[in-house]
Amino acid sequence: MRYSAKDIQKELRRLADKKTAIQSLRFFKTGKGEYGEGDLFLGIRVPVLRKKAKQYHDLPLAVSGDLLKSKYHEERLFALIVLVEQFRKSEPDQEEAIYHLYLEYSQFINSWDLVDISAAHIVGAFLYKRERQPLYALALSKDLWERRISIISTFNFIRHNEFGDTLNISKILLNDKEDLIHKAVGWMLREIGKRDLKTAEAFLKKYYKKMPRTMLRYAIEKFDEEKRKNYLLGRI
């Protein structure tokens, strides 16, 4: 069956809820000078979007691209949910097409939830058995969201107990000025610690005094109380 972006937009707008949209405007920091400035919301919750996306497993990539350019957050999120599921079930040539579409439209993957729901499942999954240099280029980007894509993509490698790229990119982002990068790096370091505490602590002991406070707090969140206190007080 053929679908157009307009067909899907009509369906999604039937699911819109003004009260939820107002809540989302506050939650995603859309005020002047905030990271989500100017973003617009229909007011559709993620479980509803996921349920609807299951009906569009064969959505053409061109339509997903059109939706990614939408001014509405949920339409971009819908497209990413579809792309993640398509990537999971794709043959290698289709995986590559999805990966390239994702990076081509990265300027529209412009919120932490959009990155977090998709980067590891598409970029990380595609690069898992390939050259990973594209992640380092993203880590050096001037764009906040591309830098977040770089570190969150490595979650795929962490799940395979490969930590080197996460640690290398964490070093690149160590002095990043954005709080959303501090949180992302800290989160990935915490995930390494869940699997290999020795590796995580070797990195932390070397760099924790240089880390932004938020990054450190996220990284040590699962440590016992005394160890957390010692890191925060610089006693390690």
- Interval 127-136: pLDDT, tens: 999 999 999 9
pLDDT (0 to 100) of residue 127 = 98
Helix (H) or strand (E) holding 111: none
**Alpha-carbon dihedral 186, 191, 197, 201, rounded to 10 degrees:** -10
Res. 79: pLDDT tops 70: yes
Binned at pLDDT 50, 70 and 90, residue 189 comes out as very high
CATH of domain 1-117: 1.20.1660
Backbone angles phi, psi at 209, to 5 degrees: -75, -20
Alpha carbon distance 144, 132 (integer Å): 19
Query: What average pLDDT does range 139-167 have in this prediction?
Result: 98
What is the pTM for the complete model shown? 0.96
Alpha carbon distance 193, 216 (integer Å): 13
- pLDDT tens string 1-36: 688 999 999 999 999 999 999 999 999 999 999 999
Specify whether the CB–CB gap between 151 and 169 falls below 8 A: yes
Query: What average pLDDT does range 174-203 have in this prediction?
Result: 98
Res. 41: pLDDT tops 80: yes
- Local structure of 197: helix, strand or coil: helix
Q: What is the DSSP-derived secondary structure letter of residue 123?
A: I
pLDDT (0 to 100) of residue 1 = 66
Q: Would you state the structure tokens that stand for residue 204, as one six-digit string?
A: 């932390």
Query: What average pLDDT does range 139-165 have in this prediction?
Result: 98
- Tell me the one-letter amino acid at 93: D
Res. 228: pLDDT tops 70: yes
Task: Burial-class residue 163 by CB neighbours within 10 Å (0-12, 13-18, 19+).
Answer: buried
pLDDT (0 to 100) of residue 3 = 82
Domain map (residue ranges) of the chain: 1-117
pLDDT (0 to 100) of residue 170 = 98
- Local structure of 72: helix, strand or coil: strand
Q: Which residues contact 134 (CB under 8 A, 6 or more apart)?
A: 103, 123, 127
| Percent of the chain whose pLDDT exceeds 70 | 100
> DSSP string spanning 101-125?
HHHHTGGG--SHHHHHTTHIIIIIH
Alpha carbon distance 11, 131 (integer Å): 40
